[in-house]
A and B are shown apart, each in its own frame.
Chain A
Amino acid sequence: MSEDEDLELQSLQRQLDDAFQTTRPRPDFEDELWLRMQARRPIWRRLRDALAALVDSVREAPAVPSAAVAIALILIVGAGILAVGLHPGPAGTATSLQAGSNTDRSATYGPNAPAPVPAPKFAAPAQGPTTASAGVADQSVHAYPNNIYLGPATLTWTGHLDVTATALPVFRYQEPTPAAAIAFAASVGARPSGDVAPGGLGAYAGDNFTLVLTGSVAQPAVEPSYKLSDLKSAPAAAGSDPVAAALARLAAHNLVPAWSYRTLVQTTGDTVQVKFLRSFDLQAQGQAGVVDGLGSPYGIEVDLSTVGTGSFETGPLPLSLASVDYPIISADQAIRSALASSAQSTGAAPYPVVRLTTAELVYKLVWAGDHSFYEPAFLFWGQFTDHGTTYVKRVLVPAIAPSLLSP
């Protein structure tokens, strides 16, 4: 080998080193995959980890899934949607962390006139196009498409959006204090059992169950939540109603949601997941589902084992909500705003053309420090197919009048 050839190969090796060291997946992939892995964990492993967490005091949550808590609830692995139902929601069955009913429309916050609030938005989108998987595709539940396209697209609108309301409530909660968390745990039947991790509201233990409480997360926005691992509950009986079984598990801990919900039941191996998808009752405007950073509904999830003992329950902490009515934009304005996010393709990399066909009123959590808001928004969506793969494109438009959205 000549000296020149040797130098040339060495240069190539350096380039290869650089190439392999700089080739990395898009930033969201790490969190998304971690959550998929967590969702696939057998229920016994989750319970074991919950127990280990208590034995070792409160473990600091692994940094890996740091930015992805919000989409944990939408990641569905497995198959078999058994039922989708609508439930008006029993009143006052969960204990709020603060005085008052859970959705106290009579309680207001701040001055009488609505003050500017931060705008709701999806989880920080990648600068370039990217996709996210929300699990199993099911056309009857648009909320859980297989592939959500988060990148730019050329948009058109062919649907119908009917909005009769001119104002809608914005709900606000105050971040729970450690004392309130302890009181909540007591209402569930649990006592403090470990140190409080940074950002956490404590770990607790009751008779044969553990409870971990966490506060709000800024990005993606997540409300204070609980994770309850019931170590001894009996397996779900074959042929029994999973929703009834899940409600019984929640009732045993005073965690039956006080808000309205739809139920979604799925089976994954030997685990039955029952989701109680939260919505706000807007009276004349109907129900508006609460969506996460990808636009998918979420709420309480109860995982029941069909073969062994134990169950796992996670969901938002019952919080006292105050509300103020805010003027909202019209349907035409909402449609214009949705289309304003349309991107024009560049020649080299044409964007997908998406026909938005459907829109609905939803609520989206907006983190704002020691308090946070559930704000109304319009969720538009449509599908497109590329190389045989069908993607869902979603666009979130704040419903609140722009003059009342803080920059």
Chain B
Amino acid sequence: MDADRPPFEDLYRDYLGRIYAYVRAQVSTSADAEDITAHVFMNAYQAYGRFEARNTSPAAWLFRIARNATTDHFRAHGRRERLRRTIEHQPVAQDDPARMAEERMQYRALLEHVARLPQRQRESIALRHSGLSFEEVGVLMSCTEDAAKMLYHRGLRSLRDAVHKEGA
């Protein structure tokens, strides 16, 4: 075991909730969020032997996997659904078929607005509020720290406008 590398159990305990929240803020159902989160940790578990702590932080490593998994999810499943919602002007589904009421989610409406933001704005907000620095957000999104800040603030204003519009 790499001396710098914490046991995977520690990562799992520390990051499961954060990764779930990051994913959940972007997808419409808790079932999808569970599937993607499971995929993230399954992959991370298998790849942990190759993780090198001196190159990146565990958080940045896990969120990179999560970002890729979420992107894959939208690529595979999301396009048609988002198109349908756009056409029908329907809100994001309130919950999944199993109605997982146990999910702890107090700001559902706010996160639904986040989920509707343009992809890069949405990602910048989700990564930033998952606890990453702007530098880490920039690295993950393949842009500079300043560009990440700009994207984030643009997303924040879009979010405020969306909330206002709904309240109007």
Known contacts A24-B17, A33-B37, A62-B9; A15/B110 CB under 8 A: yes
The chain B residues found within 8 Å of chain A, CB to CB, are 7, 9, 12-13, 16-18, 20-22, 24-25, 30-31, 33-34, 37-38, 41-42, 45, 95-107, 110-111, 114, 125-126, 129-130, 153, 156-157, 159-160, 163
Interface string of A61-98 (1 = CB under 8 A from B): 01110000000000000000000000000000000000
Interface residues of A in 131-169 (CB under 8 A from B): 131, 147, 149, 151
- Contact call B41/A37, Cβ cutoff below 8 A: yes
Contacts of B16 in A (CB 8 A): 25, 30, 33
Closest chain-A Cβ to B16's Cβ sits at a distance in Å of: 6
Q: What's the Cα separation between A151 and B102 when bound, in Å?
A: 10
- Contact call B102/A26, Cβ cutoff below 8 A: yes
Contacts of A29 in B (CB 8 A): 20, 34, 37
- Which residue of chain A has the shortest Cβ distance to B46 in the bound complex? A40
Set A12, A23, A349: member contacting B104, Cβ < 8 A = A23
Q: What's the Cα separation between A63 and B129 when bound, in Å?
A: 27
Closest chain-A Cβ to B164's Cβ sits at a distance in Å of: 9
A-B CB contact pairs (8 Å), 30 listed: A13-B156, A15-B107, A16-B107, A17-B129, A18-B106, A19-B21, A20-B18, A20-B129, A20-B130, A23-B103, A23-B105, A24-B104, A24-B105, A25-B17, A25-B30, A25-B33, A25-B103, A29-B20, A33-B41, A37-B42, A40-B42, A127-B102, A128-B100, A128-B101, A129-B98, A130-B100, A130-B102, A131-B98, A151-B99, A387-B96
- Contact call A20/B102, Cβ cutoff below 8 A: no
Known contacts A128-B99, A349-B99; A25/B125 CB under 8 A: no
Closest chain-B Cβ to A401's Cβ sits at a distance in Å of: 33
- Contact call B102/A27, Cβ cutoff below 8 A: yes
- Contact call A24/B110, Cβ cutoff below 8 A: no
- Which residue of chain B has the shortest Cβ distance to A125 in the bound complex? B102
Closest chain-B Cβ to A394's Cβ sits at a distance in Å of: 14
Contacts of A126 in B (CB 8 A): 101-102
- Contact call A22/B38, Cβ cutoff below 8 A: no
- Contact call B129/A19, Cβ cutoff below 8 A: yes
Contacts of B111 in A (CB 8 A): 19, 23
Known: A15-B107, A23-B105; 8 extra A-B contacts, CB below 8 A, are A13-B129, A18-B107, A23-B21, A26-B103, A33-B37, A62-B9, A126-B102, A391-B97
Q: What's the Cα separation between A34 and B11 when bound, in Å?
A: 12
- Which residue of chain B has the shortest Cβ distance to A9 in the bound complex? B156
Q: Which of A16, A62, A389 has the most CB of B within 10 A?
A: A16
- Contact call B42/A12, Cβ cutoff below 8 A: no
- Contact call A25/B97, Cβ cutoff below 8 A: no
Contacts of A9 in B (CB 8 A): 153, 156-157, 160
Contacts of B160 in A (CB 8 A): 8-9, 12
Closest chain-A Cβ to B122's Cβ sits at a distance in Å of: 12
Q: What's the Cα separation between A20 and B156 when bound, in Å?
A: 15
- Contact call B99/A129, Cβ cutoff below 8 A: yes
Known contacts A63-B13, A64-B9; A33/B38 CB under 8 A: yes
A36 within 8 A of partner (CB): yes
Contacts of B38 in A (CB 8 A): 33, 36
Q: What's the Cα separation between A361 and B13 when bound, in Å?
A: 38
- Which residue of chain B has the shortest Cβ distance to A41 in the bound complex? B45
Set A13, A23, A34: member contacting B24, Cβ < 8 A = A23
Ranked 4 nearest A-B pairs via Cβ? A128-B101, A19-B107, A26-B102, A386-B97
Q: Which of A36, A37, A389 has the most CB of B within 10 A?
A: A37
Closest chain-A Cβ to B33's Cβ sits at a distance in Å of: 7
Contacts of A147 in B (CB 8 A): 98
Contacts of B30 in A (CB 8 A): 25-26
Q: What's the Cα separation between A352 and B20 when bound, in Å?
A: 26
Set B20, B33, B42, B156: member contacting A36, Cβ < 8 A = B42
- Contact call A25/B106, Cβ cutoff below 8 A: no
Closest chain-B Cβ to A72's Cβ sits at a distance in Å of: 16
